[in-house]
């Protein structure tokens, strides 16, 4: 996966809002469930169209993120994308995104 990981799950338990990396949720589903009800997932700066050493397969990383969310035993109500969706704002990049 890319440098920044796949995303972050935000859960709520006992009035405490807790961020959990999606990779941690995937590795320890029971541990994440103990941290509370999944509220939403945040992904950021996917930069569709980017192709350098830091993340040579942006679309693959996004697909992995979606797979991690779909594999959750209790899915969050929504996914929020923040930051840059595309790398150079070319029309074809938006088509892929």
pTM of the model: 0.72
Which has more confidence, 97 or 95?
Answer: 95
Domain boundaries, the chain: 8-96
Mean pLDDT of 56-66: 86
Q: How confident is the model at residue 18 (pLDDT cuts 50, 70, 90)?
A: confident
List, in order, residues 6 or more apart from 89 with CB less than 8 Å away: none
* Burial track 26-38 (b if 16+ CB lie within 10 A, e otherwise): beeeeebbebbeb
List, in order, residues 6 or more apart from 38 with CB less than 8 Å away: 9, 10, 11, 32, 72, 74, 75, 76
Place of tokens 């995303």: 7
């Amino acid at each position: 996966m890319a440098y920044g990981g796949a995303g972050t799950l935000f859960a709520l338990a006992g009035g405490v809002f807790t961020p959990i990396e999606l990779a941690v949720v995937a590795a320890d589903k029971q541990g994440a469930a103990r941290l509370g009800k999944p509220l939403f997932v945040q992904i950021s700066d996917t930069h569709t169209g980017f192709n350098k050493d830091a993340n040579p397969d942006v679309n693959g990383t996004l697909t992995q993120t979606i797979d991690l969310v779909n594999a959750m035993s209790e899915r969050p109500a929504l996914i929020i994308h923040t930051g840059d969706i595309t790398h150079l704002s070319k029309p074809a990049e938006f088509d892929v995104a």
